[in-house]
Amino acid sequence: MTNFTYELLGNSLIAGESVPGNEQTLTAWNPATNEAIMPTYSLVSVEQVSLATGAAEEAFDSFRALEPQAHADFLEQIATNIDDVGEVIVERAIQETGLSQGRLQGELKRTTNQFRLFASVVRDGNHLGVRIDPAIPEREPAPRVDIRQRKIPLGPVAVFGASNFPLAFSTGGGDTASALAAGCPVVFKAHNAHPGTSELVGQAISLAVKHTNLHPGVFSLLYGPGNAVGQSLVADPAITAVGFTGSRSGGQALIKTAAERTIPIPVYAEMSSINPVYIFPGALQKNTRDLAEGYVQSVTGSSGQLCTQPGIVFVPNSQTGTNFAETTAELISNEAGQTMLTQGIYESWVSKAKVLSDQHGVQAVGAGRDGDGKNAPAPAVFEASIQSFIDNPVLHEEIFGAASLILRYDSVEELLQASRSLEGQLTATLQLSETDYETSATLLPILEQKAGRLLVNGWPTGVEVGHAMVHGGPYPASSDSRTTSVGTLAIDRFLRPVAYQNMPPQLLPQPVQSGNPWSLARLVDGKIKKAGEQ
């Protein structure tokens, strides 16, 4: 099929076809040089959105009827296809994002491993949540009738790509992978900062759709201008759920549109977080330099453009705390700025870092130097008292990029008070030695209420894709704290339960059949039975 050449055609990919858009055009820009990168991309009109959503709707019935093996094969084929063209993808992504080769190679691996992990979940079928309450004909006063439950996919899902993970949170990222693993067709709205990277991954997915003989509407990739196409996608009656990673204002706009539909739909938006780090005295005593090194690395890596970047760190108001700040200042002075994702993101960073530094009580701790390329601002660390933080909401705002704020504390009571003042967070990190366990334990119940992931003696950047990961948290970290956007639990976002009561065996879907043809673990009368157990 000539469309899948792994050459960039500059068009949307709608149900396996390269479709030129009816609106204006755009090109990618190399943020390291501020130069345009070819080709030109044509953008779809609001009217063209329904080509993709209509095809997704058409594809849904056959896609959701796939048996586990075929379904898992499809996900693995995507991984294989992306890996096959991995070098081309990484090369293009470097140009479009300014991120390093090493970072992007790692992200590519994470992206394809994610599809493979999700394929294993599809094979095991635990996400189907099968429950069986057998009939009890002799029950008094009324017999119990046979009831069986399984989860089914919601329907076509709209996914929005993030700028900062051109692979792992974009075209073939966590939202796409989890929706496809749930059995939901995906209409993906590309992030305009990396259209070429998106097209390459989109071609790899479309090719997998074709090779595994699925309905082509299972996946589409749209390039659209501004917000109109995105809003129209969320408002489209065929769309049943939305995955989004980006700014708080962007997420809130989609949530509003979704809530105002005739039939409202869930929006899973991962939005903003400042990821507090708590450094306790014992840990600091042991490892001042290691901690400062880890901190600077976590703040500056990927130019600080990570949703789990540590925006604030609580440090004791002691001599060791001062040593930590001084070591941080020393280390960061050696750091050159790294090119940010776009000129707009760079400008926003500069403006927000300025606002922070202008706040009453905020002082500079140290800064690096500007990087060699364009849009590579010097990373900066600031300091303030914990009381300024509690009093001033500006200090709670995420600055997307390599800036961070050290907050000096005198007592655990201050830490508790500051923690209670936090908004919802993706992560909270504790740096501890054994002598700190007792005091840190008083903080844990508060942090559980504030964050989706608590971690000890590590740094929040770097999100493992596994079964136990939670990448989410109370609002505004995410729009729905009951979920995660990373890890296999993310699949559950796109499923809903259906019960079958007194249904003849001939009509029961396979997951709930008594013979258990899919070898699923199931909850029988409230007790877990593994495959093969009666």
Residue 463 carries which side chain, given as an amino acid letter?
Answer: V
Taking the C-alpha atoms of residue 179 and residue 167, their distance in angstroms, rounded to an integer, is 16
User: Which residues in the 132-161 window bind a second copy by CB under 8 A?
Assistant: 132-133, 141, 144-145, 147-149, 152, 154-155
| Cβ distance to a second copy smaller for residue 18 or 419 | 419
Taking the C-alpha atoms of residue 505 and residue 325, their distance in angstroms, rounded to an integer, is 68
**x/- binding map, residues 2-41, to a second copy, per CB under 8 A?**
----------------------------------------
Binding residue (CB under 8 A) for a second copy from 306, 356, 402, 469: 469
Cβ-based neighbours of 110, under 8 Å, separated by 6 or more? 167, 168, 465
Q: How many residues contact a second copy, by CB under 8 A? A: 79
| Cβ distance to a second copy smaller for residue 360 or 527 | 527
User: Which residues in the 365-404 window bind a second copy by CB under 8 A?
Assistant: none
Give DSSP secondary structure letters for 354-405: HHHHTSTT-EEEEE-B--SSTT-PPPEEEEEEHHHHHH-GGGGS---SSEEE
* Locus of tokens 């929040």: 460
| Cβ distance to a second copy smaller for residue 249 or 502 | 502
**Phi/psi of residue 392, nearest 5 degrees:** -115, 110
The minimum distance between CB 500 and a second copy, in angstroms, equals 5
Q: Is 259 in the site for a second copy (CB under 8 A)?
A: yes
| Cβ distance to a second copy smaller for residue 118 or 389 | 118
Binding residue (CB under 8 A) for a second copy from 264, 361, 393, 517: 264
**C-alpha radius of gyration, the chain, whole number:** 25
Binding residue (CB under 8 A) for a second copy from 424, 425, 431, 485: 424
Taking the C-alpha atoms of residue 201 and residue 180, their distance in angstroms, rounded to an integer, is 15
> Is 208 within 8 Å of 222 (Cβ atoms)?
no
User: Which residues in the 485-514 window bind a second copy by CB under 8 A?
Assistant: 488-489, 495-504, 506-507
Parallel, antiparallel, or unpaired: how do β-strands 403-409 and 380-385 relate? parallel
DSSP 177: H
| Cβ distance to a second copy smaller for residue 225 or 474 | 474
> Is 488 within 8 Å of 120 (Cβ atoms)?
no
> Is 380 within 8 Å of 344 (Cβ atoms)?
no
| Cβ distance to a second copy smaller for residue 153 or 195 | 153
Q: Is 284 in the site for a second copy (CB under 8 A)?
A: no
Q: Is 449 in the site for a second copy (CB under 8 A)?
A: yes
Part in contact with a second copy (CB under 8 A); list of ranges 127-135, 170-178, 242-250, 372-380: 127-135
> Is 101 within 8 Å of 120 (Cβ atoms)?
no
* Active site annotation includes 307: yes
Instruction: Select from 173, 214, 217 the least CA-distant residue to 197.
Output: 173
The minimum distance between CB 166 and a second copy, in angstroms, equals 20
Q: Which two tokens stand for residue 427?
A: 């992560």
One of 58, 76, 199, 307 is an active-site residue; which one? 307
* Alpha helix stretches (DSSP H) within 227-302: 228-235, 248-260, 281-300
The minimum distance between CB 129 and a second copy, in angstroms, equals 8
Part in contact with a second copy (CB under 8 A); list of ranges 47-55, 201-209, 282-290, 522-530: 522-530
User: Which residues in the 34-93 window bind a second copy by CB under 8 A?
Assistant: 61, 65
The minimum distance between CB 131 and a second copy, in angstroms, equals 4
Helical (H) or strand (E) element with 478: none
Residues annotated catalytic, as ranges: 270, 307
